[in-house]
Amino acid sequence: MREIEALWEEARELSLGTSGGVERLDSPPTPLQFLRDFVSPNKPCVISNATLHWPALSSWSHDSYLTRALSSAHVSLHLTPNGRADAAVPINSDDPSTLCFASAHALRMPFPEALNLIVNPHSTNFVAYAQQQNDCFRSEYSALAQDCDAHIPWATDALGCLPEAVNLWVGNHLSETSFHKDHYENLYAVVSGEKHFLLLPPTDVHRMYIRNYPAARYSYSQDTGKFTLESEKPMRCVPWCSVDPYPSPEAKHSAMSRFPLYFNGPKPFECTIKAGEILYLPSMWFHHVRQSPDAAGRTIAINYWYDMQFDIKYAYFNFLQSVPYQSTHNPTLPGTMSDDLDSDSDCDSFAYGCKDKLGADESVTNLPNASAKEE
C-alpha cells in the first residue's frame, strides 16, 4: 500500500533522518531542548556524558562491590535455554511453524547467587538474566540507590513528573530482547558493558507483523537440566512482533519471504549505548536489544520509565494500525498484514474480542496493555 510506504519515507525525510543513525548529544540537553527536539517530535537521541557523576560507573565494575551491597537482597532471575525470553518461539521443536509467546522461568534467589549464574553461562544449561520490570531498582535493589540518580533531572523537568518505574538489568552477552514497544517514555542508561539497539518508529508498525500468540512459560528442571515450554491454561493471547531481525543463516531465506516489509523496507535505526551514555527511547518505538559484556562478563543498565502522553500522536498511531496493509506494488509478495502468520497462532480468533483473522491488528488497537512492559 503505497500510502503506508510513503509514511515510512516521509517520517524519515522530515524528521527522523535517512541515515539509519540516531542523533547524538555531547551533554545532557536542557529540559526545553529535550521536550522540543525529541519528546514532542517522538525522535530518539543518545546523550553522552550523561551520568559521569554516578558512583555506579566505577563501583559496579567490581562483582565484590555488588555482592557485598546486595548480600542479603533476594532478586528475580529469569532463565531461558537460549537468552530469548518474551519472544515468539516454536512451541515444540518438532513443529517449528507453531509459535507461542514464551516467558522465562522466573526464580527468586540471593543476588550473589544470581550474579554467579549470569557471569558463568557456560557452566549451566541456561541463560540467566536479572530483570524485572516492576520498579525493581527502587525495591529489590534499593541498597544501590545511592550509586545512581533517582531520576533523570532534565527529563523529569521536561516531562513534568517523576519516573513511574526504575528498573535494573543485569545480563550477559547471550540475552536479547525481541522487538516490541512500550507505552512509556524511556531513558535507558548503560552502567557497564554495551547495549545494541535496533529501533523502528511507530509509523512502521506494519513492518513488525504483530500477531496474537498463545502465552507459554519455560519451566526448567534442575533434575534433568532441561526446559519444557508449557502453554498457559486457560489460554491467553499476547499480541507480539513476529520479526527476528537476526535470523540464523539457514532461517534467513524463510524470514525474508515471510517478513518482506521489514527486510525490504528502510533499515532500522541502529545505535550502541556505552557506559555513561543514555538512550532516549521514545514511547511507542519498536526496539530490539542485544548486549556486549564488560570485562567481568556482565552488561548492567538502568532504565527510567516516564508516563507518556496519550495524545494526537497516539490516536494517529491507532488509526494507522487499524488500516490493513495491502501491497499494491507487488501483489505476488506474501507480505500482507492479513495472510501471513495466521498459521502461527490459533489465537487471533479469540484474543481481545477480535472477530476474524483479518482483524489481527485491529485486536491490539486501543489496548494500552497490547505490549508487555519490556526493556
Positions that interact with its own copies (CB under 8 A): 3-4, 6-7, 10-11, 14-16, 31-33, 35-36, 39-43, 157-160, 201-203, 309-320, 322-323, 366
Q: Would you say 41 or 112 has its CB closer to its own copies?
A: 41
Q: Would you say 190 or 320 has its CB closer to its own copies?
A: 320
DSSP run (H or E) holding 260: helix 260-264
Tell me how far, at minimum, the Cβ of 266 lies from its own copies, in Å. Answer: 13
Spatial CA neighbour of 274 closest among 296, 291, 257: 291
Tell me how far, at minimum, the Cβ of 360 lies from its own copies, in Å. Answer: 15
Residue 328 CB burial class (10 angstroms; 0-12, 13-18, ≥19): exposed
In whole angstroms, give the CA distance from residue 275 to residue 288: 19
Tell me how far, at minimum, the Cβ of 30 lies from its own copies, in Å. Answer: 10
User: Hey, what amino acid is at 82?
Assistant: N
Instruction: Give bridge partners of residue 306 from the DSSP assignment.
Output: 185
Tell me how far, at minimum, the Cβ of 152 lies from its own copies, in Å. Answer: 15
DSSP run (H or E) holding 257: helix 249-258
DSSP for 43-74? --EEESSSSTT-THHHHTT-HHHHHHHTTT-E
Q: Would you say 17 or 112 has its CB closer to its own copies?
A: 17
Q: Would you say 196 or 313 has its CB closer to its own copies?
A: 313
Tell me how far, at minimum, the Cβ of 5 lies from its own copies, in Å. Answer: 10
What separation in angstroms does the CA of 18 have from each of 14, 15, 185?
9, 9, 23
Tell me how far, at minimum, the Cβ of 208 lies from its own copies, in Å. Answer: 17
